[in-house]
Structure 1
Amino acid sequence: MSGGWNTIESDAGVFTSLVENLGASNLQFEELLTLEPSELSSLQPLYGVIFLFKYPTDTPYTSSETPLDGTFDHDAASRIFFAAQTIQNACATQALLSVVLNKTDEVDIGEKLGEFREFTIELPPEFRGEALSNSDLIRETHNSFARSSPFADETAPKGGESEDVFHFIAYSAINGKLYELDGLQPAPISHGECTMENFPEKVVDVLQRRIARYEATEIRFNLLAMCRDLRVRAREFGDMELLEREERKRKDWLFENALRRHNFVGFAGEVLKGVVESKMKDGKVDEWVAESLERRKKAEQARRAGQDVEMSG
């Protein structure tokens, strides 16, 4: 199997299933649609958030000596789990682990992740990153949630404009401080004193300052909160409506994740074969092909007409 890492989506169902498949229990991710502390507070106990943002390639992301916000806490790297990102496309799972591996007092992370943490916690961040990127369990679990890509365009021109790059980082309250955990940075970034109780207010303040550094037209951000499985709360309080809603959500996530993994090329080919066989049986293949060519011709004429209008305008 290839040792590469594939990109995965910033999706609550993907991240929830990912952390469960890694062996952790009673965890859930929820997508946040607003930057309101009250929305985060409603999910308590809240273990952390994962933030997806466009990685700036035209301006410095941060200084190696001083971050744009907060302060580097080099000493914390030896006390908490912080890993340097050593491989491309691993940042989603790395951000997830940056939260869950620092919450072992509150979360059951399972045997495999427990062994990984025990093995790496005494290592420096760069070796933790190497251990993470070389973990078959973590890489294979991560890649199992990548979208199927059956076609590769080898004719695409090289050296053209690069696509926008996006990056995942984590924020969590650890040992009484709010930490920004970004494997591309030299150390955890401290944003001051913080408890689990006031984490929603503190992290929203930090995120608002971060977003404000972008142009007003940039809206491609995503925020996922890691909280306790909401079904646990529903059972504790006897909230059958919440329990039913959460169980239905899990079924939807299971279906959506199955679709992500599935390669539909074979299915589409069988459908096309069936259509062709049906047309041949009816003796209408030539008519069908002629109709298709006529529709394509009209579509091309309409496209050219639109271009002419645009140029004359």
Structure 2
Amino acid sequence: MSGGWNTIESDAGVFTSLIENLGVKDVQFEELLTLDPSELATLQPLYGVIFLFKYPTDRPYATSDGPIDGRFDHDASQQIFFARQTIQNACATQALLSVLMNKTGDHVEIGSQMRDFRDFTMVLPPDLRGEALSNFDLIREVHNSFARSSPFADETQRTGGEAEDAFHFIAYTPINGTLYELDGLQPAPISHGPCDTDSFPAKVVDVLQRRVARYEATEIRFNLLAMCRDLRIRARDFADDDLLARENSKRRDWQFENALRRHNFVGFAGEVLRGVVDSKLKQGGDSAVDAWIGESLERRRAAEKALRRGDGDVEMG
């Protein structure tokens, strides 16, 4: 019996390290801050993009006749890797695999275990592919290794009567001359028309802009990650020492940040708190500790009120 899947962040360092731990070589992710085709084009060879958004949209996603944008291509599932999402929290890894599993002919090395998994599941229908993916121990364990460490149940989470926004990952990638949207919550790949690797940046930005336009103007919670060839390869090919230094530095930062995500800081926080309390006791006994706690609570309440009013950045100390 397989275990569950934990939520992971939409982060270039997380996704890059995740696929490397699956055995993928010479591929990385880059976060995009704008919907600018020229920015995407600088990352060629570009394999696809992963889009994170609030689900569902503020307007209907599909009608009885099909998706509002594009069309369902049910026949495509026989030729391309498309898996239905059958388990909660797996959509991030499922989206990036939707790109990777369809790039085996583009000189992308996905590793022996992922290649064997693809070969095994391609004869299955999309729903059984999703079941196989959800129960593949290697993929689930690597995915969960990037979840934030938390030893506590979050008692601040919304309960029963309060609705909580849900977010979802999907993939866009050009396959066999067509731009496909691969969303495990949909019954089939969604075709957005003819598209090759050169036209992909402009074409996918058009599709994304139409999708974003279906939200209220105040909704800004989107994230876009591009999957491209390891930029260090380009740096070495063109003897670009500055680019190579930046990319190596970025990798070190990613490694450090991923280590922090996995680490449990409860012991450290406890020691810091104990030291502060000891210091306050020496200054004025229990009354000094009580005063410090009261002041801290007041500062936090004031900061939370300022955030609710939209006063911008505030000190939460």
Q: TM-score, normalised by structure 1?
A: 0.90
Runs of 4+ in 1 over 6 A off after TM superposition: 300-303
Kept in 2, the 8 Å contact 1:44–1:227? The answer is yes
Whether 1:61 aligns to 2:61 is yes
Kept in 2, the 8 Å contact 1:176–1:195? The answer is yes
Residue 44 of structure 1: how far off its partner (Å): 0.1
Over 3 Å counting, the alpha-carbon distance change for 1:283 and 1:46 in structure 2 is closer
Distance 1:172 1:301 in 2: 46
What is the root-mean-square deviation of aligned Cα atoms in Å?
A: 2.4
Over 3 Å counting, the alpha-carbon distance change for 1:237 and 1:153 in structure 2 is closer
Q: Give the equivalent residue in structure 2 for 1:173.
A: 174
Kept in 1, the 8 Å contact 2:58–2:215? The answer is no
Give the number of equivalent residue pairs: 304
Whether 1:19 aligns to 2:9 is no
Distance 1:173 1:294 in 2: 58
Q: Give the equivalent residue in structure 2 for 1:38.
A: 38
Q: Give the equivalent residue in structure 2 for 1:213.
A: 214
Over 3 Å counting, the alpha-carbon distance change for 1:124 and 1:157 in structure 2 is closer
Whether 1:130 aligns to 2:131 is yes
Distance 2:177 2:301 in 1: 66
Structure 1: segments with no counterpart, 5+ residues:
307-313
Over 3 Å counting, the alpha-carbon distance change for 1:7 and 1:237 in structure 2 is same
Q: Give the equivalent residue in structure 1 for 2:93.
A: 93
Q: 3-state SS of the aligned residue for 2:63?
A: coil
Distance 2:162 2:56 in 1: 15
Report matched runs for 1:194-205 at 5 Å. Answer: 194-205=195-206
Distance 2:194 2:300 in 1: 62
More displaced 10-residue stretch of structure 1: 154-163 or 201-210: 154-163
Report matched runs for 1:1-313 at 5 Å. Answer: 3-56=3-56, 59-63=59-63, 65-106=65-106, 107-153=108-154, 158-277=159-278, 282=282, 284-286=284-286, 288-292=288-292, 295=295
Distance 1:120 1:156 in 2: 38
Q: Give the counterpart letter for 2:6 in structure 1.
A: N
Kept in 1, the 8 Å contact 2:53–2:167? The answer is yes
Residue 59 of structure 1: how far off its partner (Å): 4.7
More displaced 10-residue stretch of structure 1: 154-163 or 40-49: 154-163
Distance 2:54 2:20 in 1: 27
Distance 2:156 2:301 in 1: 26
Q: Give the counterpart letter for 1:13 in structure 2.
A: G
Q: Give the counterpart letter for 1:91 in structure 2.
A: C
Distance 1:193 1:298 in 2: 59
More displaced 10-residue stretch of structure 1: 208-217 or 81-90: 208-217
Distance 1:293 1:73 in 2: 60
Q: 3-state SS of the aligned residue for 1:89?
A: coil
Structure 2: segments with no counterpart, 5+ residues:
307-317
Q: 3-state SS of the aligned residue for 1:88?
A: coil
Q: 3-state SS of the aligned residue for 1:167?
A: strand
Over 3 Å counting, the alpha-carbon distance change for 1:59 and 1:213 in structure 2 is closer
Q: TM-score, normalised by structure 2?
A: 0.89
Q: Please tell me whether Structure 1 or Structure 2 has the larger radius of gyration of its CA atoms.
A: 1
Over 3 Å counting, the alpha-carbon distance change for 1:243 and 1:159 in structure 2 is same
Residue 279 of structure 1: how far off its partner (Å): 5.5
Distance 1:256 1:186 in 2: 36
